Amino acid sequence: MSKEYFKNLQDLLDVEREEDLQSYLKLTLNTSAADRRALGLTWYPIAIRNTEIGRGDYLSIELERTTHQDFSHQFRFGSAVVLFSNHDPKVDKIEGIITHQSSSKMKVSLRIDELPDWTRDGKLGVDLLFDNNSYDEMQHALKLASNLSDQVPENKLIKVLTSEEKPSFQNVEKFLIPNLLNESQKLAVNKIVSADHLAIIHGPPGTGKTTTIVQAIKSLLKHHDQKILVVAPSNTAVDLLTEKFAIEGLNVIRVGHPARVSEKLLSATLDHKMADHPEMKTIKALKKQANEFKNMAHKYKRSFGKAERDQRKALFDEAHKIGKEIEKTESYIMDSLFNKAQIITATLVGANHHTVRNLKYHTVVIDEAGQALEPACWIPILKAQKVVLAGDHLQLSPTIKSMVAAKNGLSNTLLEKLVHLHPESVVLLNEQYRMNKSIMGYSANVFYDNKLIAHQSVANQLLFDGDEPINFIDTAGCSYDEKLDGTSTTNPEEAAFLIRHLVGLVTTLETIYTPENFPTIAVISPYKQQIQILKALVLEEEILAKYQRKIAVNTIDSFQGQERDVVYISLTRSNSDGNIGFLADTRRMNVAMTRAKKKLVVIGDSSTLSKAKFYADFIGYAENLNAYHSAWEYIDN
């Protein structure tokens, strides 16, 4: 049974890889460096700022982009890249791996001894290669899981996760849990400590999932003095947890490079901890020596005789020998650091990074498990005896490129499967600390069986006395018709109306708040092109431009996990056929509606939206709260 289970996942992953590769090729084939730069797939031009001997005696180079530094890009720690020259990009190129990356600099490890001559003239650039590594790691994990499923006792966890066995729990004596946790959070901590193989924290928006994870891990460390691996699909989620562990004084090592580097995070990175190790002095001296040998070898130019060639080879051999010594010392330092660490944090694929590939753990915690591709989850799972999944399968699921793979089950996450399969492992966190109860109400009813309650500190919070916490503004009959802009839908009139309404609100708020404590605002829509229109309009309004640090405009997907005092949602769709496109993905709307703390303003066309039950019911919910308004009420003013 398990073998079939993993074979099915492997097949789906192959379909996804192929689709992903084809879309990458379509983007990059026969495109100029400038076009690829605009897509975030290229840095060009770049300068080589530094070279040194890196891990395993390979050359490590530091690159900096010299122009277009404000362009967003997709380069990440661990990505495969290729260095190229504009003279002959097809021939003049070397592949490497990013070992360090910041906004405009990156370090790349190259599998060569010295830089070729072409790197000294002409313009250089660096391209992002297709990410085969992640797919290879996932496939390898699925193959390993399939083989292990026949073995005893390793297969107990695999059997629980693939539905062949039921999870079991120990009778752990009640232990002191800090009072800062509420009842459902305490239950979750107990479930995690008592589980033999599987525990699940179901954390709806604003319910303190991160706080619960941190306290659960502290309790686990008290019960088992063994290492814990904490992973998540995104660098941002890993960074957030790493920072929390560091603040709690736990010995944590962040494997991989953080997306956002704060002081707390930096001190938790492997690079930083290694730099502080007393043995690093030895490594620095050895590196200096090796570089000297290599520099001497480079002085021999191409046209030389046998004696010079032998001398050059001897110098390189000496540098290689030192390189091996450096690697041995680095391994020793890493082993000693990992032995002392209580927690290792990484992304799902990063859990198999060369520095930690062979480590085993008592427990693996997968955060944001609702956004994690199942094959990626098996990479860390196979390193532990027990799994804790934390997340919300009723918010956004992972992005999948292949419709076929998604439809055949790849979009069904491990979290979602196990919540239904093993309800005895699940604890729902039921008290939220983010939203006014009216903002929470509709989502609580539709997605969480009305089991959510608003903590008293937020239940009645408002922007100001007498304000309405929720508005649905109906544009039906205003002739705000949607338009197709490329592959995305827009509604310029609805966008203009939203901005006018927002200007009115900001004008009111300006009389109540100082610039420092001015409320935070998000303007969101499911459609990328609608966002472009809204961004441009925000900049055109003087009063909004003044508060632009407080106003974020972006797609719903980019706001998962975030919160703002005020949220405006532009639903965009308005047509006579009642066609709502991917507004039909109600999980995306669950994310959208639960970002707001004190005020939620939803703008849309009821005649289009009410063909779908979810939106018809939401409009009814707003009417019951006297929160329904027609756009005409504002247009007449």
pLDDT < 70 positions in the chain: 1, 54-57, 152-154, 172-178, 261, 300-304, 636-637
Considering the domain architecture, whether residues 172 and 239 belong to the same structural domain is answered as yes
Backbone φ, ψ for residue 310 (5° rounding)? -65, -45
Instruction: Establish if 448 belongs to a structural domain.
Output: yes
Answer for the pair 522, 558: CB distance below 8 angstroms, yes or no.
no
- Cα–Cα distance measured from residue 164 to residue 178, given in angstroms and rounded to the nearest whole number: 36
Domain of 229: which CATH number? 3.40.50.300
Considering the domain architecture, whether residues 497 and 570 belong to the same structural domain is answered as yes
* Reported pTM: 0.91
Instruction: Establish if 424 belongs to a structural domain.
Output: yes
Considering the domain architecture, whether residues 381 and 323 belong to the same structural domain is answered as no
**Nearest to 444, CA basis, from 426, 427, 429, 463:** 429
Domain end marker among 109, 130, 151: 130
Cis omega (within 30 of 0) for bond into 153: yes
Domain end marker among 291, 308, 339: 339
Could you list the residue range(s) of the whole structural domain that residue 154 is in? 134-251+343-429
pLDDT at 154: 57
Domain of 109: which CATH number? 2.40.30.270
Q: Is residue 282 packed enough to be buried (19+ CB in 10 Å), middle (13-18) or exposed (0-12)?
A: middle
Q: What's the structural domain count of the chain?
A: 4
Answer for the pair 111, 93: CB distance below 8 angstroms, yes or no.
no
Domain end marker among 104, 130, 156: 130
Answer for the pair 350, 255: CB distance below 8 angstroms, yes or no.
yes
Instruction: Establish if 26 belongs to a structural domain.
Output: no
The amino acid occupying position 204 is P
pLDDT at 224: 79
Instruction: Establish if 45 belongs to a structural domain.
Output: yes
- Cα–Cα distance measured from residue 6 to residue 9, given in angstroms and rounded to the nearest whole number: 5
**Nearest to 555, CA basis, from 333, 399, 380, 389:** 399
pLDDT in tens, 184-193: 999 999 999 9
Considering the domain architecture, whether residues 508 and 585 belong to the same structural domain is answered as yes
Show the tokens assigned to 33.
């460096």
Alpha carbon distances (Å) from 330 to 1, 52, 190, 273: 43, 15, 39, 12
pLDDT at 176: 61
Instruction: Establish if 14 belongs to a structural domain.
Output: no
Considering the domain architecture, whether residues 227 and 247 belong to the same structural domain is answered as yes
Considering the domain architecture, whether residues 532 and 572 belong to the same structural domain is answered as yes
Considering the domain architecture, whether residues 373 and 227 belong to the same structural domain is answered as yes
- Name beta bridge partners: 603: 473, 570
The phi-psi region of residue 4 (left if phi > 0; otherwise alpha if psi is between -120 and 50; otherwise beta) is: alpha
Helices (H), 547-627: 586-593, 606-609, 613-624
Considering the domain architecture, whether residues 217 and 120 belong to the same structural domain is answered as no
Backbone φ, ψ for residue 470 (5° rounding)? -140, 135
Backbone φ, ψ for residue 175 (5° rounding)? -120, 165
**How is 542-563 classified by DSSP, letter by letter?**
HHHHHTTTTEEEEEGGGGTT--
Instruction: Establish if 272 belongs to a structural domain.
Output: no
pLDDT at 86: 82
- Name beta bridge partners: 98: 108
Instruction: Establish if 613 belongs to a structural domain.
Output: yes
pLDDT at 54: 66
The amino acid occupying position 458 is V
Give the containing element (helix H, strand E) for 385.
strand 384-391
- Cα–Cα distance measured from residue 82 to residue 125, given in angstroms and rounded to the nearest whole number: 8
Cis omega (within 30 of 0) for bond into 492: no
pLDDT at 336: 92
- Cα–Cα distance measured from residue 267 to residue 43, given in angstroms and rounded to the nearest whole number: 29
Considering the domain architecture, whether residues 402 and 503 belong to the same structural domain is answered as no
- Cα–Cα distance measured from residue 20 to residue 142, given in angstroms and rounded to the nearest whole number: 19
Answer for the pair 110, 80: CB distance below 8 angstroms, yes or no.
no
Considering the domain architecture, whether residues 104 and 57 belong to the same structural domain is answered as yes
Considering the domain architecture, whether residues 361 and 333 belong to the same structural domain is answered as no
- Output DSSP code: residue 173: P
Considering the domain architecture, whether residues 423 and 473 belong to the same structural domain is answered as no
- Name beta bridge partners: 252: 343
- Cα–Cα distance measured from residue 39 to residue 48, given in angstroms and rounded to the nearest whole number: 22
Instruction: Establish if 12 belongs to a structural domain.
Output: no
pLDDT in tens, 533-577: 999 999 999 999 999 899 999 999 888 889 999 999 999 999 988
Helix 374-381 and helix 132-148, axial crossing angle in degrees, nearest 10: 60
